């Protein structure tokens, strides 16, 4: 009896706190039916925002995956002075406010920044342009691949890698044939987390972007301007689209474990 | 005198030798990667150091140096600004309250997922990640709509005379939503590793449910709960997107520190904005360090007991 009560309480909590917001997004987007909601997606500024988000996310994910693999290899396969400080530094963006993560790039490349005016004269625009958005996104998503890879690679030790090295394998061969296949689930999970965070980043991008509709507005920024402009249906339609993209990315993390497990069971 | 000089000189030379030797050893160890047999050390070292140097150390230097560049004046002016202290207080107090309220909620959900035989456990487990996955701007406008006086939850609350939206309670609610997964996900693995027999043994020995909860479940979980609190708190202090839509953003009342940074930037007051950012960063880092020390104490104490 008491157990039933606890079940009901747990599900009530989950519905109230976690499902209700998702339902609100859909309800507000479809307030006037499917037609008007789909109509708002044809807005050229919205489409530009979608493509900018895809572009920035792709670049940030590729950059941070390469860095994540290199850093995880360095941090788990060798012991050297300064290793712990490096680990702390890499995780630092997680405890920095998104607004501050955007602000630091303005300090470097903004109009009042250290190198902003010089670069501006040379015709290179970073702050209030797409490069700034990319820098801020890379900064914010830097730790995710490293964080998922390091515990696993640490646990796997370096015996297999050392055996491969003794058998004459080079660096790339060891990385590609020995280390990465063993860590593929963690790697995929880290990449997916990076992707979800990169496309949803709001605070950092909002500070460096300059909010130029159709040019430097990513999806979250476009949602903000639509919402503040009282275009509720358009704002929530875009929000629903972005939420679906992010949730699907995060849920995909469960897919490889599920697939590989089901393939390995029959053996 | 001369003998003394000689002894001191020898001591000096000895010191140089020791320091020099250990430095040299540290340097070769750094350059050789602890004499590992694996290839690729220098390549990955250079890559990682350059990347962290550009993306982390350089911005951090800018953040630390920039406020002082126009003299001490702007920083001092910012330190005399009551509005900044009000904003910092709003950020820190709401983050602490939200993280604290999340402790029982997160513990309850984690226990139900691990031990409670909750029907639909796998679905519930996936749903816990929603606040982490949902982009902050989306959760911001959604929570603002949900708790607005006409919203699904705001309407019944306003009938009861509780106004949530555009007040500090709204900020707390938004931060609780954002922080809940941190609490559940830090408690869950520790709870999984606790033998279930402990609860059963306590029950057989005649412990009352409340005793089981406080002495058998919560006691070994205290370090994990503290870590979860710290993570949720750190996230809450800096949170921007999911808060600004519901907060109302009135100076001195419901204005959070990250928003004040944005306001200062819009006024082109870069030193002021950077000063707030620096204070925010230092304050949240010191809270995290304190929590880490406290957690180590508690876990050492639990092991000893």
As a whole number of Å, the CA-based R_g of chain A is 22
Per cent of chain A over pLDDT 70 is 96
What is the pLDDT at residue A179? 86
Q: What whole-number distance in Å separates Cα of residue A214 and Cα of residue A50? A: 10
Contact A246 B56 (CB under 8 A): no
Could you give the ipTM of this predicted complex? 0.87
Tell me whether A242 touches chain B (CB under 8 Å). yes
Query: What are the structure tokens assigned to B11, written together?
Result: 């001591």
Place of tokens 């202090």: B237
Residue B1 has pLDDT above 50, yes or no: no
DSSP code at position B152: T
Residues 118-147 of A with CB under 8 A from B: 135, 138-139, 142
Q: How far, in Å, CA of A17 to CA of B59, rounded?
A: 37
For residue A219, the chain B residues in CB contact (below 8 A) are 135
Q: How crowded is the C-beta side of B273, counted as CA atoms within 13 Å? A: 26
Angle at A116 between CA A115 and CA A120, to 5 degrees: 120
- The architecture that CATH gives domain A33-260 is Orthogonal Bundle (1.10)
Reported as a pLDDT band with limits 50, 70 and 90, residue B34 is: low
Partner residue opposite A79 with nearest CB, options B34, B116, B285: B34
The Cα of B303 is separated from the nearest Cα of chain A by a number of Å equal to 24
Q: How far apart are the C-alpha atoms of A43 and A231, rounded to whole Å?
A: 12
CA distance A192 to chain B (A): 10
Tokens of A46: 């919205």
Candidates B178, B208, B241, B245, partner chain A, best to mutate (most A CBs within 10 A): B241
Exposure string over A180-194, b if 16+ CB within 10 A, otherwise e: eeebebbbbbbbbbb
Q: Which residue has the higher pLDDT, B288 or A267?
A: B288
Can you give the residue ranges of every domain in chain A?
33-260
Contacts of A145 (CB under 8 A, 6+ apart): A64, A65, A67, A68, A69, A72, A187, A190, A191, A194
Residue A139 — very low, low, confident or very high, per pLDDT cuts 50/70/90?
A: very high
Whole-angstrom distance, CA of residue B273 vs CA of residue B250:
18
Contact A18, B128 (CB under 8 A): yes
Residue B40 contacts residue A171 (beta carbons within 8 Å)? yes
A 10 A CB-CB count for B14 gives 10
User: Residue B12 — pLDDT band, cuts 50, 70, 90?
Assistant: low
Query: To the nearest whole angstrom, how far is the Cα of A23 from the nearest Cα of chain B?
Result: 9
Chain A positions touching B30 (Cβ under 8 A) are 80-82
- Taken in order A14, A16, A18, A20, is the CA torsion positive or negative? positive
Q: Do the beta carbons of residue B276 and residue B260 sit within 8 Å?
A: yes
At A201, give phi and psi (nearest 5°). -60, 130
Under the banding of pLDDT at 50, 70 and 90, the label for residue B2 is very low
Mapped onto helix, strand or coil, the DSSP state of residue B227 is helix
């Amino acid at each position: 009896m008491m157990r039933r009560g606890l079940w009901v309480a747990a599900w009530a909590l989950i519905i109230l706190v976690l499902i209700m917001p998702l339902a609100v997004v859909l309800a507000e987007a479809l307030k006037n039916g499917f037609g008007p909601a789909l109509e708002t997606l044809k807005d050229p500024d919205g489409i530009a925002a979608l493509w900018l988000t895809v572009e920035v996310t792709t670049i940030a994910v590729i950059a941070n995956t390469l860095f994540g693999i290199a850093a995880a290899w360095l941090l788990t396969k060798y012991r050297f002075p300064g290793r712990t400080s490096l680990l702390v530094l890499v995780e630092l963006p997680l405890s920095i406010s998104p607004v501050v993560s955007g602000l630091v790039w303005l300090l470097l490349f903004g109009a009042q920044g250290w190198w902003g005016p010089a670069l501006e004269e040379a015709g290179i625009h970073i702050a209030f342009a797409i490069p700034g958005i990319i820098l801020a996104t890379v900064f914010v998503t830097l730790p995710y691949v490293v964080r998922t890879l390091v515990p696993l690679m640490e646990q796997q030790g370096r015996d297999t890698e050392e055996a491969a090295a003794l058998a004459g394998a080079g660096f790339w061969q060891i990385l590609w044939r020995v280390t990465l296949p063993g860590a593929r689930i963690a790697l995929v999970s880290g990449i997916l987390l990076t992707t979800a965070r990169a496309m949803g980043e709001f605070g950092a991008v909002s500070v460096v972007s300059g909010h130029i509709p159709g040019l430097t507005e990513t999806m979250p920024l476009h949602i903000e301007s639509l919402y503040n402009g009282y275009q509720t249906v358009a704002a929530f339609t875009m929000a629903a689209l972005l939420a679906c993209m992010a949730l699907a990315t995060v849920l995909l993390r469960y897919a490889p474990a599920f697939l590989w497990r089901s393939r390995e069971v029959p053996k | 005198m001369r003998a003394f000089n000689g002894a001191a000189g020898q001591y000096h030379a000895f010191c140089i030798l020791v320091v020099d030797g250990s430095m040299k050893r540290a340097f070769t160890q750094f350059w050789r990667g602890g004499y590992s047999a694996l290839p690729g050390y220098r390549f990955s070292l250079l890559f990682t150091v350059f990347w962290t140097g550009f993306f982390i150390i350089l911005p951090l230097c800018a953040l630390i140096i920039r406020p002082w560049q126009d003299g001490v004046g702007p920083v001092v002016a910012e330190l005399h600004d009551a509005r900044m202290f009000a904003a910092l207080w709003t950020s820190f107090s709401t983050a602490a309250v939200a993280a604290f309220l999340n402790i029982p909620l997160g513990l309850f959900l984690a226990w139900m997922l691990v031990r409670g035989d909750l029907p639909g456990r796998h679905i519930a487990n996936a749903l816990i990640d929603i606040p982490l996955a949902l982009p902050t701007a989306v959760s911001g406008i959604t929570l603002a709509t949900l708790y607005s006086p006409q919203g699904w939850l705001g309407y019944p609350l306003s009938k009861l005379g509780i106004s949530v939206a555009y007040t500090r309670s709204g900020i707390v609610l938004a931060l609780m939503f954002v922080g809940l997964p941190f609490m559940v996900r830090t408690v869950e693995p520790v709870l999984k590793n606790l033998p279930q027999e402990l609860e059963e043994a306590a029950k057989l020995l005649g412990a009352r449910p409340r005793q089981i909860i406080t002495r058998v479940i919560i006691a070994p979980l205290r370090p994990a709960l503290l870590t979860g609190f710290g993570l949720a708190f750190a996230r809450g202090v800096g949170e921007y997107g999911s808060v600004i839509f519901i907060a109302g953003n009135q100076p001195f009342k419901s204005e959070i520190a990250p928003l004040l940074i944005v306001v200062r930037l819009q006024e082109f007051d870069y030193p002021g904005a950077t000063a707030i950012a620096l204070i925010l960063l230092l304050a949240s880092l010191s809270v995290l360090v304190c929590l880490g020390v406290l957690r180590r104490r508690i876990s050492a104490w639990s092991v000893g007991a």
